[in-house]
């Protein structure tokens, strides 16, 4: 049986105190319990919904297929990118992520550089990316104690379609009014610097150790390339937007990169198949994985579609 076939992943809904009880119109998902803030699209709890590996977790699939799945992104053998949707109803905590060197200093395999693509943004929406020029570590400590840290953050307005780069070491926070497609190194290591008085643990010393005064965080302008848009091309990931106006084959969209690829459907629907496998559909807010060694991959628009293609650059 050929197991190196594309497959769709089931999303995994994660509770967060700052999330929503109803994810409409993005997902037909409601809960009377804890609110949902994140939908993991490539997390270890996500399971294959199609193909011969249906029902198996992404972790199991990665272990089983190895280089056949990951290709040039094999690295440590873990799936290299964690992709999520974030639905903040309230302000997220002010955080810092370590870079690879600091993470490894504390026994973690890698740091956490990420990017945010705004699928939606209400008027006035903004995120914090970095500290205002001239702010010192002593000022940060004092402002945490006095509950005034927000006054020191560099706020960046966000509009629908914006791509924001958040490299490791950037003090950052996400506010309400946005829906974000987040792509990051596979790591859940976060140092919480400030949480608006909510009773959750803070990691002030490690936040200050991880923090860099100057980073490259900020908006990344898209550029055109061979009929599609490159939203970001950084060390750990490359992300493209493809607009497919009518049903039919989109051969270039299926082109091999030498590594695993992910396809997230913003609008419309795709049909995906490969040699030896059956056709399956990927609808709005769903994600498909195409292994590096899948053969004769075919991706067609079932209806006019907007697609985000994501793949790792290195690990």
Q: What is the pLDDT of residues 264-293, one digit of tens each?
A: 999 999 999 999 999 999 999 999 999 999
Closest by CA to 41, choosing from 256, 298, 263, 241, is 263
CATH of the domain at 305: 2.60.120.10
Is residue 151 predicted with pLDDT exceeding 70?
yes
Residues 204 and 285 in one domain: no
107-142 tens-digit pLDDT: 999 999 999 999 999 999 999 999 999 999 999 999
Residue with tokens 């049986």: 1
Residues 204 and 265 in one domain: no
What's the chain's Rg over C-alpha atoms?
Answer: 20
40-65 tens-digit pLDDT: 999 999 999 999 999 999 999 999 99
**Torsion angles phi and psi, residue 304, rounded to 5:** -50, 130
Instruction: Identify the domain containing residue 199 by its residue range.
Output: 7-219
Residues 231 and 171 in one domain: no
Q: Kindly report the pTM of this predicted structure.
A: 0.96
What order do you get walking across the sheet with 126-131 strand by strand?
153-157, 126-131, 172-174, 94-96, 191-194
Query: Do the domain assignments include residue 104?
Result: yes
Question: What is the token pair recorded at 24?
Answer: 């409409």
Residues in the annotated binding site? 97, 114, 172
Is residue 234 predicted with pLDDT exceeding 80?
yes
Question: What is the token pair recorded at 92?
Answer: 């997220």
User: Is 6 buried (19+), middle (13-18) or exposed (0-12) by CB count in 10 A?
Assistant: buried
Residues 241 and 263 in one domain: yes
Residues 179 and 277 in one domain: no
Residues 207 and 286 in one domain: no
Residues 120 and 175 in one domain: yes
The upper half-sphere exposure of residue 87, i.e. CA atoms within 13 Å in the direction of its Cβ, equals 21
Query: Do the domain assignments include residue 123?
Result: yes
Verify whether residue 192 is a known catalytic residue.
Answer: yes
Looking at the 3D structure of the chain, how many domains does it have? 2
Q: CA 187, CA 111: separation in Å to the nearest integer?
A: 7
Q: Which of 8, 110, 189, 192 is catalytic?
A: 192
Residue 199: which pLDDT band, with cuts at 50, 70 and 90? confident
Query: Do the domain assignments include residue 1?
Result: no
187 Cβ neighbours under 8 A, 6+ residues apart? 82, 97, 103, 108, 109, 110, 111, 112
Task: Determine contact, residues 213/137, Cβ cutoff 8 Å.
Answer: no
Residues 212 and 234 in one domain: no
Residues 201 and 251 in one domain: no
Residues in the annotated binding site for Zn(2+)? 97, 114, 172
Which DSSP state fits 47?
B
Question: ∠ CA 79-267-35 to the nearest 5 degrees?
Answer: 65
Residues 69 and 192 in one domain: yes
């Amino acid at each position: 049986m050929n197991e190196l076939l594309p497959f769709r992943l089931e999303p995994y809904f994660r509770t967060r105190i700052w999330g929503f009880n109803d994810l409409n119109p993005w997902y037909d998902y409601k809960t009377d319990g804890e609110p949902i803030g994140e939908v993991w699209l490539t997390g270890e709890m996500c399971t294959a919904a199609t193909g011969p590996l249906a029902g198996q977790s992404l972790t199991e699939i990665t272990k089983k297929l190895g280089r056949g799945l990951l290709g040039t992104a094999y690295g440590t053998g873990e799936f290299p990118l964690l992709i999520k949707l974030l639905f903040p109803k309230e302000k997220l905590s002010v955080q810092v992520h370590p870079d690879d060197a600091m993470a490894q200093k504390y026994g973690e395999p890698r740091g956490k550089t990420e990017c945010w693509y705004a699928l939606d943004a209400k008027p006035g929406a903004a995120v914090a990316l970095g500290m205002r020029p001239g702010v010192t570590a002593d000022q940060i400590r004092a402002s945490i104690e006095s509950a005034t840290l927000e006054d020191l953050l560099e706020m960046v307005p966000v509009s629908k379609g914006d791509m924001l780069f958040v490299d490791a070491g950037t003090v950052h926070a996400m506010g309400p009014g946005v829906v974000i497609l987040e792509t990051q190194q596979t790591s859940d290591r976060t140092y919480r610097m400030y949480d608006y008085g909510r009773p959750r643990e803070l990691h002030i010393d490690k936040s200050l150790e991880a923090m860099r005064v100057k980073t490259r965080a900020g908006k990344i302008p898209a550029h055109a390339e061979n009929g599609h848009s490159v939203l970001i091309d950084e060390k750990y990931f490359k992300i493209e937007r493809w607009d497919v106006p009518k049903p039919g084959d989109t051969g270039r969209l299926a082109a091999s990169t030498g590594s695993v690829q992910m396809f997230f459907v913003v609008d419309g629907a795709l049909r995906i198949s490969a040699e030896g496998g059956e056709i399956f559909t990927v609808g709005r807010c769903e994600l498909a994985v195409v292994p590096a060694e899948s053969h004769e991959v075919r991706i067609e628009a079932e209806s006019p579609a907007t697609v985000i293609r994501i793949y790792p650059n290195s690990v």
